[in-house]
Structure 1
């Protein structure tokens, strides 16, 4: 099957996140409860902003797209199904609910919105929702390598897969690594076009005729607009060496500990959720280290803008080779100097990212950029990253798909 030329497309998007992870739960009693539990509030409402959401939002603004059914990450375990049922509020209606069943519902934020959100425990009801919404000229657009039955169960004209990291190397999915690798092979047989966030991901789809590296992007205006200094910085000394993102096993804690211990005159600030097993305890014992927890997408620019240096101290391994960290673009959009280990993506901005292999080199580059940084250099970094917009990424994707 193929798409009808010169007609707008409808997209069914299988997401790598749930809508409540992006925008917070809509459950009213839960909102009231977490007002008294700040830690829970951040966990449930801080929101994740990832490539999937950025592409979804950019697609919704493209004239070539008529409507989108945005499907929550399909729950794979009983625990995840329970989380979906509670936080997505599957039992409750509301003015934004377009369709609801016992185990699913479809919401729409406004009558003018192109995007409908499907929250549910399975994909079983997706075809009937597509029929109700009169979907035609359909692109099945997936971010979820755990779900491949969709190619059989969801009607579509063409399929697209956007590969964000190699999930077979993700520490959370080690026990199902073989299944994920098989799923990548299945995806390759069904997807007309495959987009990858990193060049190394091409090896997952050998022999496929249409695999395209399309790196991440950034909303430069969101990060460049000046924000006041966060109150949490009031008792933190300067300079501030900052990191934002999920604190997990990809962080090279051993390298960081050496740098932190060698420089008590620098403050090291980490913004993001801390996962179990990340090794954060090794750093928390130092008085010049602060973990501030997760922040919303709206809050994040204020924190980065008041870093003196943005760091990316990731391990170099099979997993990080398939990444293209969005924080690279976000640091630069805030005009910040960047020091990183040699992970995928840093080669896009060789003039603006200092690369270090060892703790000694990492310290050297931080000290050097602190001494040499200037307002003019900050402006040059912002100009360098400005062309890397999500709108351009989506235009490139649609141009390939609709050619």
Structure 2
């Protein structure tokens, strides 16, 4: 019988519990998988003011821990400055985390280091966390970003290096698979999935039942891939509809001035616990994404969440939507996008709502992770 795998998973942002990101769903599904034991999610180090010893440790479930390391193992200030300085130099946070994992039962033979690049902390993890297997999972390909502030050259170099050195590479888009499968023969293409909490029951347009203004909504990060001008076009062409934009803003919304329109409302990030309810109360879910290299490297998580809600979907024709053409209204232009909204209001019904929900049920995270772990077990 093959021994269970313990997983140390590193995500490149400090956002556990905020947005219900894919890595959280994967970590949770891994912690429940029959072929895995313990799962520890390590986030990037932070500088804490009233810092505790070594790291902030949160037990999410019986088998799933979340650790946020501090840059110093103990505070530099206070009595015993020299002793504190010596301790921080002698015992950096990863040394202590390594010891913590050892006492939890992690060893080189039973540990998988599962990393999401890019991040400058990753080499330290590889060098300090004993592991038998290295998994590199690539989601959004940040080497395709165009904002000058982003470390694009660093991202590309780290993607390439880690893809070549990993025992297994997991990609979530066809574009990333085409790139990284050339660097590693053990490469999987597995799209994003959906959490069971998003699975709803078939429903008709809420505005009909509630006698309210039709609500069009977008849930997700507002970033380079978001076509804010398309949202503006929809708002101007259909002033009778209320457009709700929900999600973290990467500096796109305010400069655009879009919220000055009377029928556009930016409500900020929606807590992931409330996200299913937010979607169910929309009349139409929107995917107003630009078709560029950055968006082609992604698997739109919101698509699966939208489908699970049962609500109709109008989208631009972007990567990840191809196989859902029978259930999603795909648009080639701004005017087509608006016409598809109109057509949806005229033709959508309970039967189509039920079809969307039924179609996405098999796309759940447990099935996704089962595929990943099965491939991982083949490598032994």
Structure 2 length as normaliser, TM-score? Answer: 0.85
Matched residue of 1:124: which SS? helix
Alpha-carbon displacement from aligned partner over 1:19-53 (angstroms, at most 9, x marks no partner)? xx333xxxxxxxxxxxxxxxxxxxxxxx1211100
1:218·1:330 contact (CA, 8 Å) conserved in 2? yes
Q: 1:189 and 1:152, CA in 2 relative to 1: closer, same or farther beyond 3 A?
A: farther
* C-alpha displacement of 1:257: 1.5
Residue 313 (structure 1) aligns with:
288
Residues of 2 paired with 1:210 and 1:158: CA distance?
Answer: 12
Aligned to 2:94: 124
Corresponding residue for 2:64?
A: 115
Equivalent pair of 2:201/2:310 in contact (CA under 8 Å): no
What is the Cα deviation at residue 266 of structure 1?
1.5
Deviations 1:178-231 (CA, angstroms, capped at 9, x unpaired):
11111012102221111111110124422310111100111244341699x99x
Provide the C-alpha distance between the structure 1 equivalents of 2:57 and 2:202, rounded to a whole number of angstroms. Answer: 37
Match for 2:164 among 184, 189, 196?
189
What residue number does 2:252 align with?
A: 277
How has the CA–CA distance of structure 1 residues 151 and 173 changed in structure 2, closer, same or farther, with 3 Å as cutoff? farther
Contact 1:250 1:315 in 2 (8 A): yes
Task: Please state if 1:55 is matched with 2:49.
Answer: no
Correspondence for 1:163? 138
| Kept after mapping to 2: 8 A contact 1:270/1:291 | yes
Q: 2:173 aligns with which of 195, 198, 211?
A: 198
Aligned match of 2:187: 211
Aligned CA distance change for structure 1 residues 273 and 180 (closer, same or farther; 3 Å): closer
- Count of residues in correspondence between the two structures: 347
Offset of 1:247 from its aligned partner?
2.1
Distance 2:304 2:59 in 1: 31
1:247 aligned onto 2:247: no
Using the size of structure 1 for normalisation, the TM-score is: 0.80
1:259: Cα distance to partner? 1.9
Shift of 1:303: 1.4
State the partner residue of 1:299. Answer: 274
Q: Which residue of structure 2 aligns with residue 10 of structure 1?
A: 6
C-alpha contact (below 8 Å) 2:117/2:158 kept by paired residues: no
Give the whole-Å Cα distance in 1 for the aligned partners of 2:308 and 2:150: 38
Q: Secondary structure at the match of 1:387?
A: helix
Q: Report if aligned partners of 1:339, 1:353 keep a CA contact under 8 Å in 2.
A: yes
1:272-323 Cα deviation digits (max 9, x unpaired): 2333234564321211111222211121111111111110001111110011
Q: Structure 1 residues 222 and 311 mapped into 2: Cα distance closer, same or farther (>3 Å)?
A: closer
Cα 1:285–1:106 change in 2 (3 A) is closer
Residue in structure 2 matched with residue 70 of structure 1 by the alignment: 41
CA deviations 1:53-80 (Å, max 9, x no partner) are 01001011112111112101x24xxxxx
Cα 1:152–1:173, aligned 2, differ >3 Å: closer, same or farther? farther
**Cα distance in structure 2, aligned partners of 1:358 and 1:216:** 26
Q: Which runs of 5+ in 2 are unaligned?
A: 72-92
Distance 1:201 1:135, change over 3 A: same
The structure-2 alpha-carbon separation of the partners of 1:363 and 1:280, relative to structure 1 and needing over 3 Å to count, comes to farther
CA distance in 1, matches of 2:66, 2:293: 34
**Alpha-carbon shift at residue 106 of structure 1 (Å):** 3.2
2: CA distance between counterparts of 1:130 and 1:157?
14
Contact 1:184 1:204 in 2 (8 A): no
Cα 1:346–1:339 change in 2 (3 A) is: same
Q: What value does the CA root-mean-square deviation take over the aligned residues? A: 2.4
Deviations 1:115-165 (A, max 9, x none): 222211356233222222221311000113224413333210011011111
State the alpha-carbon separation in 2 of the partners of residues 168 and 53 from structure 1: 23
How many Å separate the matches in 2 of 1:70 and 1:370?
43
Instruction: Tell me the distance in 2 between the aligned counterparts of 1:145 and 1:348.
Output: 29
**Residue number in structure 2 paired with 1:96:** none
* In 1, Cα distance between equivalents of 2:255 and 2:288: 13
Listed as ranges, the matches of 1:143-162 within 5 Å are 143-146=116-119, 147-149=121-123, 150-162=125-137
Whole-angstrom CA distance in 1 between matches of 2:356 and 2:6? 37
